Every structure is written in structure tokens, then in C-alpha cells.
Structure 1
Amino acid sequence: MSGVKAGIVVLAFLLIGTSEGSAYLLDGNCAVSRTDPGTFRIAGGTETSTYQNPWMVLVISHNRVNQYRCSGSLITSRFVLTAAHCLIFSYTYVLLGDHQTEDPQIGCPSENCIPKSYLIDVDKKIIHQNYNKRQELKFDIALLRMASEVTFSDYVRPICLLVGEQMEDLSVFKVTGWGKTENQESSQSLLTTTVYKGGRWFCEIKYRLQTDESQICAGSQTSRTCIGDSGGPLSAERSYGGIKRVFQYGFVSYGSMNCTDIGTFSVYTKVSYYMKWIKDRTTVSGSLTSGVGMVPLSESSPLWQTIVMVISLICMAFTITVSAYLYIKQLHSLHGKCFMCYMVALFISHLLLLLNLWNVWELPSISCTTSGLLGYFFVMAAFFWLSVISLDLWNTFSGTSHSLNRYLPEHRFLAYNGFAWGMALAMTCFTIVADQVVDEDWAPRMGTNQCWIYTGDNAALIYFFGPMILLIAFNITMFILTTTRIMKVKKEVRNFAQQKQWNKKLSSDMRTYTFFLWLFIIMSLISSLEIVYFLVRKNESWRSVLKVADYLNWSQGTIIFGFFILRPSTLKLLRERIKGDNNEDPGTKEQISLENKI
């Protein structure tokens, strides 16, 4: 009998361990609330202690004339959670760590200290894609990514958010903010009060708006939230891992405009309802986008990324418009035209990436989604053009009896255009449709956390990494088949009477093949690093190792320019072109290899 009891006890511990193991804190350094002897005395609220709410953030949205103040909560070292309706102006910054807004103590008195408070610009605003302030203020949630991380201290520390487990249903909460008091004046000090959960019908009757499970209705007979409290956290203390911590259950969404209307209930956005949305965007958006596919890699300096990418774009533009295709007529071959299309697609995708880095478009917005779709289209087009080139090289060495050779070069180029641009367009349309009909967990989520598809889970394998792997595999197969065919052709050439003439043509085609083989190896290596990063994205050690991939991705134009354009043979052709010495044989135009020029 004792053995049975022991087995039951062990089983209970295992079940408890399994249940707790599935949940975790969004930031493990989150709120252990403190009080100090200096406790001070939204409307009807009391002033808080300096140490009591280190996760509180003052959110200021402004333009050149006006500003709008809200509250928010620090949830990681880089992200602030607030209400979407707070972000009414283009520019936003946040104040952390100082509860006195009239004269905040910003920065450090010495070089080695940890700042008590921070005043930081917001470099990215992520508003829920379904938010519409004209429709009952639902989906009223937004994330603010600060321009730099903050260092945690007694004054600055994130509030706790529980991931992977529903929070217990409580009825008593604390709400905190800098909103207007019963005197109709904005508080210069952080205030807090206790509110009690009520039925949602209380708020529906009061505001004549429908509420749902994503919202909480709460209030008090002695105090209430008011203008300026929006985004302020609705919190409660609970034990987690044997430590009492403060967890966020919601934040202020809307209520009465009359701050003297004590006893009125307000509507709060329920955080647990949006926990997956928050987790997905804080784990990916903290990274800068990079690479051909704009895939998030490590957080490198935006300044250095800008410098490297601008140089790369200049090199691409020079390669396309001057040194190769508009200036050197010998490169106007079928292979050269395909290479030009590849470079055009690569150039536009990198240009959109650079604009995304500069936060030209707000999140979410039609312009951001459009930019992401265009970027996706040109990225996929670049991959398909590489496949076209590998297919055409194989066809070149397959002999005149092959079916593709029934077309003239001009007709073949039109067919290649239809395939490369058409397939890229088809995949882009597929992505648009999937965002409308597929469940969010498996949708591409274009423009939700960056102006690109969401790459934080395995859904990205369907829309980007999977097709990329298939195209790389196809190219490898075609180059292997081409190499095999070249070896066979070399043996056949020895038996021809006009061996010298055929050797010359074979040598020319071999140089073309070698050129594109190197291009494929370099581009595939860079793309493979993106795939590897995606597969090991949760391993911090590998993230550090793959940081070099950032610069390789951003420098693709520079690599192509340096490796293929700045070669003695190309420079010689440029000099000849400048001098007007360009006497090519028209009959051999299509047989001149790129390697001869590059």
C-alpha cells in the first residue's frame, strides 16, 4: 500500500513538473516588486514608491506641434507594451525609470554607472494588424521597439508575462499611470489604485460598445482611470517558482472622458489573449532584417549595415548600367541578359531592404505590406533567374537535338522571362491568399512584425525557406548534370575533323559555365547561411557564430562587383570601349563567353 502511495506522489510531481515546464516567463529577469521607506501619498489614486513599479513607461507620441501622453509597461530589455490608440503621431519616445515626469533625471553622472532612467526613441511601432479605432476599439494593442536596449536596475525592470499557460482568473488588480486626476490635471507623479473585475456587461451598458473575451471590465467605487492612463498595466502579484512576482493581466484601453466620474468602470485589453502575438513579435522584431530574403539575423549596428548596403547597391547599379550591359556590347548574349535580370531583381530587393531598415513605413500599414510583397517578389525572382541560368547552361551542352534548342535565342529569352517573373508572381499571389485564408499559426503574416513574412516559426518553411531549399537543390542537380555533359563532350570533340574550331567553342562555353558556377556557389553559400540561421535560431551560440552572415548578405553586390567586374579582362574591355576599339565579329556574338569579358 505504501508503494502505491509513493507511486501516486511521484506521478503527481511528474504531472506538476510537466505542467510548469510548458510555461515560461517572457523575460526571466521580470518584476520582483520592492518598497522603500519613501512611500508617497488615476483619479483618486495614491502616489507610488520609487522602487515599486520599475516596469512603468511614459509613452509620448508627438509631431512638431502637439504631443499625446500615455502609459506603458516594459516587458523585455527592448520592448514596451501599450495601447494602439496611443500612437496617434509619427514620432514616439519613451521615459523609463523616473516616476517624476516634470524633472526626470536622465543618464549617468559618471561613465561607469547604470542609468537611473532612460529617455529613448522608438525605432519601430508594431500595431496589431486588425486594430481599427473606428470599430469598437478592439485589438487595441501595440509594441514599441526602443532604439537601444536598457540595463535592468532597481529603477528599470520588466513586468512579468507568462507564456504557454493561461493566468488564473483574479478579481482584484492594481492599475498604474500618469493620467489626469480628479482635478482634471495630468499627474506629474506615478499614481496607482486598486480596481475590481466586473461583468463585461457593465462596460457595454456604460459605453454602448460590444466587448469580448479579449477585454476586461474593471473599476472601483473610490477611483478610476482617465486620460493619460491608456496603456497603463493592470497587474497582480502571484508566486512563480517560489518567488512573488508582479504579472501583467491587461492594460487600460478606454473609459469615461470625465475624470471626476469616480466609480465608473473602464475597459482593459486582456494580455493573455494576445500572448502569442506578443511572443512572436518580440522574439523576431528585436533583430534587424538582413540578407536577400530580409531574414532576421543578429543585431548588428544599423549604421554599419547602412554603410555596407549602400556600397553594395552602388556596386550593383554600376555592374548593371555601366560596366557590363549598357557599355560593353560583347556582353549582350543570352547568358548576359539572364545575368542582368538576376542583378536587377537582386538590386531592387536590397533597395527595399534598406528602406525597411530606415523604418520608412509604419507597422502595420498598407505601404509596409506592399513593400514586403514587392521585396518577396524580387527575392524569389532572383532565385528563379539563377535556376534559369543553370537550366540554360545544361541545355547549351546538351546538343542541338534537345527540345529547348528548337527556339531561337530571342524566343528563349522571352520564355525565360515568363518563367522567372511568372513563378515569382505566382508565389507572391499565393502568399497574399494564404494571409487571408490560412490559420494565423501557418500564415505568412506579411507586414505584421516587419515588412516581410514572419520568420519566427516553421510557417516560414512553406513560403520562403522551403522554396529556397528546392531551388538550390535544383541548381546543384543542373550543374552536376552539366559537368557530366561537359566531360562527355570533351571526349566527343577529339573525334571531330574540325577539332580546333570545336575546341575553341567548347573553351568559350566552358568559361561561361565556370563564371556562373562561381556565381551560384557564392550566392548559394550566402543563402545557405540564412537557412542554417533559421534552423538554429533558438541557439544563442550559433546566433553569435552566424553574425558574419549579416555582412555577407548585405555585401552581395560588392562581392559580385569585385569578383567578376574588377578583373583584368573586364577592365581591358572598358579601356577598349572608351578608345572606340570595339571591332567584334557579329557572327560570333552569341558564342562569346562571359568569362572573356569578366
Structure 2
Amino acid sequence: MEKSYCVIVFLLFCLFIEDVVSRKRLYLDRNNVENSDGKIVGGYNTTIQDVPYQVYLMLQMGTDYYQCGGSIISERYVLTAAHCLTGITRIYVRAGSTLAMSGGTQYNTTRFRQHPFYNPMNFDYDVGLVNIPGGIALDGINTKAVPLPKAGAKIANGTNILVTGWGDTTENGQVSPNLMGVQVPTVSNDECRKSYSTLTSRQFCAGVPEGGKDSCQGDSGGPAVSTDTGIQLGTVSFGTGCARPGIPGVYANLAKVRRWIKRNSGV
């Protein structure tokens, strides 16, 4: 089963929701997409000062709420996964906090958009933008925009990326109240197609052969940033299970959708 890393909250909404479990979009075949449970696996506790571009998203769909991650790309825009935005009516964004449910500053907005070519069957073009009309206060310490790659830039095999979020720490586990990070190397798309035959050029993969390190449910939409350059190369998209041996995670390749991001955010 393949995961996509959003988290549903089975309680009435309040500003500090504490009881969350993950929503996992599973791509089984073209006629069977399900939801089930997924956070950073094999990682470590980190702080918002180490990754000040990271934000926590609580997404409202009717009376249900979902968890995703996102990244600040400018004062007015947050980047996330397109699949996080499907069916959503309002988004609550917490910026500047190491903790998912407290601290920092919370913003809310109804302005967001998915990439128009987003395909829920294979998660192609899995990127979306969230607009914060009043702007996020960027202090350079707890809140800071992350740089994005140039359009068409290539990702070398073995590029080390830092993935952060508040998702599950084990497959079908529990979400984390504290921000976590994990570092994994990218693998070639040819190699990754052994696990995901539908992989496209708008996607890339990262993981270690022995497993044990990965993003997981609840991390969807969060940033995958080069540890060498500090440039965000991808957003957490989906995968089969979490941290399984020989099966990497899949990320949206931002260099391949860079022009769309520029046209719709000015960044």
C-alpha cells in the first residue's frame, strides 16, 4: 500500500487540537484510492531555529481536519503538496514553532490552489500554494523563507536531503508533537521505478537501501532541502509504507514545476 502522509483529526476543531491520527492516501490502482494512517521515521528531534522555513498546516474539510507540512517561500506564500488541498475549505498555518499545537503564530486563510495538472492517481505535479493575505512575519530566526531551485535544475543521485515534519515516527504509528528531521540520499528515477512504475519526471525519490529512514504520514507537503545548498528541492508526496528496505519515498520535483510556482506566487 502506498502512503501520502496527511493526518485527519477526529475531534471538533479548536485552536489547540491534541488528538490526531494520520490520513494516508493510498494509490492502489486507478479505481482504488483509500485513506488510512502516517511522520519522520528514523530521524531526530529538531527545532524551528534549525529549519525556520517549516510550517504546520491544519486543513479543514467540513467538520474534519487534516495535518500536513509546508514551507515558507515568501512573506505571503507557503508551498505544500497538492494532495493536501483536495476538498479543503480553510487552512490554519502555524509558523515559528517547534511544536505542532502551540507556540509561534497561527494564521488562517481560504486562499490556496493546486497545480492544475495534479493527478491523484499517481501524484504527478503534487504541489500547491497557500496564500497568507496579511503576510507571515519573517524574523529570520523562527520564520524565514527557503530558497527554491532554478527551473529545470537537475538533482544528482546521492544528493543528501533533510526532510522535516510532525508526522508518524513509525508506519501506522503516532504523529509527533515535536518537529523532527531525517537525512536521506536521493536515488535515480530508473532505480526508483523498480518500486513505482508510474514515476514521472516531476518526481524524485530518496531513501537508504536498508530502510529505517523516511518521511511518513503527516509529513505530506513538507520540505525536502539539500543539506549542501539549503535549497528546497522537493515536497513530501507519497510512498509505499514508511522506511521499508529497498523502497524509497517519493517527492515532488520543484525544479520541474518552478515556472508554475513563479507565475502564481511571484517567487
Query: Residues 224 and 264 of structure 1 are in contact (CA less than 8 Å); yes or no, is this contact kept in structure 2?
Result: no
- 1:177 — aligned with what? 165
1:214 to 1:65, Cα distance in 2 relative to 1, 3 A = same
Distance 2:131 2:202 in 1: 23
SS of the counterpart of 1:281? helix
User: 1:456 aligns to what?
Assistant: none
1:210 corresponds, among 181, 193, 198, to 198
Change in 2 beyond 3 A, CA 1:130/1:218: same
1:280-359 to structure 2, matched below 5 A, reads: 280-283=263-266
Summarize the alignment of residues 439-518 of structure 1 with structure 2, pairs less than 5 Å apart. Answer: none
Q: Does 1:251 align with 2:235?
A: yes
Secondary structure (helix, strand or coil) at the match of 1:249 reads strand
1:553-564 to 2 correspondence within 5 Å? none
Among 116, 120, 140, the alignment partner of 1:133 is 120
What is the CA distance between 1:167 and its match in structure 2? 5.5
TM-score between the two structures when normalised by the length of structure 2: 0.76
What per-residue deviation string (whole Å, max 9, x for no partner) do you get for residues 25-76 of structure 1? xxxxxxxxxxxxxxxxx11110113410000011221234211111111000
Instruction: Return closer, same or farther for 1:252/1:168 CA change in 2, 3 Å cut-off.
Output: closer
Q: Does the C-alpha gap of structure 1 residues 65 and 202 become closer, same or farther in structure 2, counting only changes over 3 Å? A: farther
Equivalent residue of 1:121, what SS? strand
Q: Secondary structure at the match of 1:147?
A: coil
Matches within 5 A, 1:197-236: 197-207=186-196, 209-220=197-208, 221-236=211-226
Structure 2 CA distance for aligned equivalents of residues 230 and 94 of structure 1: 14
| Cα offset, 1:162, TM superposition | 3.7
For 2:195, what is the secondary structure of its paired residue? helix
Matches within 5 A, 1:540-559: none
CA contact (8 A) 1:92 1:122 kept: yes
* Change over 3 Å in CA distance of 1:50–1:278 after alignment to 2: closer
2:113 alignment partner AA: I
Q: State the AA in 1 paired with 2:251.
A: Y
CA contact 1:120–1:147 (8 Å) conserved in 2: no
Residue 303 (structure 1) aligns with: none
Structure-2 residue corresponding to 1:90: 89
SS in 2 for 1:86: helix
Alpha-carbon offset, residue 264 of structure 1: 3.0
* Preserved contact between residue 80 and residue 221 of structure 2 (Cα < 8 Å): yes
Change (3 A) 1:72 1:50: closer
Structure 2 CA distance for partners of 1:202 and 1:68, relative to 1, 3 Å: farther
Matched, 1:60 2:58: yes
Q: Equivalent of 1:271, from 234, 254, 259?
A: 254
Q: Kindly indicate whether residue 98 of structure 2 is the aligned counterpart of residue 99 of structure 1.
A: yes
CA shift in 2, pair 1:251/1:203, >3 Å? same
CA distance, structure 2, for counterparts of residue 70 and residue 249 of structure 1: 18
Relative contact order, CA 8 A, sep 6+: which one is greater?
2
Instruction: Structure 1: state its 5+ residue gaps.
Output: 1-41, 106-116, 240-245, 285-598
- Code of the aligned partner of 2:216: C
Residue 44 of structure 2 corresponds to 46
Distance 1:64 1:58 in 2: 19
User: Which protein is richer in strand relative to its size?
Assistant: 2
Whichever residue aligns with residue 126 of structure 1, its letter is: R
Deviation, 1:259, is 3.7
Rounded to whole Å, the distance in 2 between the matches of 1:235 and 1:52 is 12
8 Å Cα contact 2:56-2:68 kept in structure 1? yes
Higher helix share: 1
The offset of 1:263, in angstroms, is 5.6
CA contact (8 A) 1:163 1:275 kept: yes
Corresponding residue SS for 2:266: helix
Q: Report the counterpart of residue 341 of structure 1 in structure 2.
A: none
Equivalent residue of 1:60, what SS?
strand
Please say if residues 85 and 113 of structure 2, whose CA atoms lie closer than 8 Å, have aligned partners that are also in contact: no
Distance 1:44 1:238, change over 3 A: closer
Residue in structure 2 matched with residue 460 of structure 1 by the alignment:
none
Q: 1:167 to 1:148 in 2, by over 3 A?
A: farther
Q: What does the per-residue CA deviation read over 1:101-150, in whole Å, with 9 as the maximum and x for residues that have no partner?
A: 13x12xxxxxxxxxxx221112311211111313x110111011013111
Secondary structure at the aligned position of 2:218 is classed as coil
* Structure-2 change in CA distance of 1:204 and 1:148 (3 Å): same
Partners in 1 of 2:245 and 2:215 — Cα distance? 9
Query: Is the contact made by 2:127 and 2:252 (CA closer than 8 Å) also made in structure 1?
Result: yes
For each residue in 1:541-579, what CA deviation from the matched residue of structure 2 results, as whole angstroms up to 9, or x when unmatched? Answer: xxxxxxxxxxxxxxxxxxxxxxxxxxxxxxxxxxxxxxx
Number of aligned residue pairs: 222
CA contact (8 A) 2:62 2:89 kept: no
Tell me the TM-score normalised to structure 1 length.
0.35
